């Protein structure tokens, strides 16, 4: 147990804060976070985190996707084609804009001194990505 705590403290010390963050509230129990983070070699990668409130327990269930620079165009192309297929081929009569609310999308402050310690259940929209961005090793960032 002590070894794991030491590793976690080391990871937290080496993690760089995001240079750009956005929060998208999707319904009552889901939130998506989009964070652009720098690597040690001055590259950037995107993390998309889905956070869902657990039904029978406290806390949140989180899933994270890392998208690296060489995959950004391919990712966007696949996403756009998939969304267009749903909208035009599978559900052409559905009014997707009926759920559009611009206040569900919030750009979060990215000040290097900003504190990311607020509880996710807080109603505040600033700096409430606490516990959302899981730590990754340098090995995960090699391309």
Q: Where along the chain do its domains lie?
A: 2-69+101-138
pLDDT in tens, 52-103: 988 777 888 999 999 999 999 999 999 999 999 999 999 999 998 887 777 7
Can you tell me the distance from the alpha carbon of 11 to that of 138, in angstroms, rounded to the nearest whole number? 10
Burial classification of residue 75, based on how many CB atoms lie within 10 Å of its CB (0-12 exposed, 13-18 middle, 19 or more buried): middle
119: pLDDT strictly greater than 70: no
125: pLDDT strictly greater than 70: no
Confidence of residue 124 (pLDDT cuts 50, 70, 90): very low
Can you tell me the distance from the alpha carbon of 11 to that of 13, in angstroms, rounded to the nearest whole number? 5
Burial classification of residue 110, based on how many CB atoms lie within 10 Å of its CB (0-12 exposed, 13-18 middle, 19 or more buried): middle
CATH 3.10.450.700 assigned to 2-69+101-138: yes
Can you tell me the distance from the alpha carbon of 27 to that of 67, in angstroms, rounded to the nearest whole number? 24
Q: What is the mean pLDDT of the chain?
A: 75
The whole-model pTM stands at 0.65
């Amino acid at each position: 147990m002590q070894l794991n705590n030491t590793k976690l403290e080391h990871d937290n010390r080496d993690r760089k804060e995001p240079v750009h963050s956005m929060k998208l509230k999707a319904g009552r129990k889901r939130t998506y976070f989009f964070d652009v983070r720098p690597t040690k070699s001055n590259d950037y990668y995107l993390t998309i985190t889905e956070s869902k409130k657990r039904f029978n327990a406290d806390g949140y269930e989180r899933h994270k996707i890392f998208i690296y620079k060489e995959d950004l165009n391919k990712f966007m192309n696949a996403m756009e084609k998939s969304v267009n297929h749903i909208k035009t081929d599978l559900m052409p009569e559905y009014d997707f804009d009926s759920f559009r609310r611009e206040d569900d999308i919030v750009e979060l402050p990215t000040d290097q001194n900003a504190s990311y310690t607020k509880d996710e259940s807080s109603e505040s929209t600033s700096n409430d990505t606490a516990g959302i961005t899981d730590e990754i090793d340098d090995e995960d960032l090699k391309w």
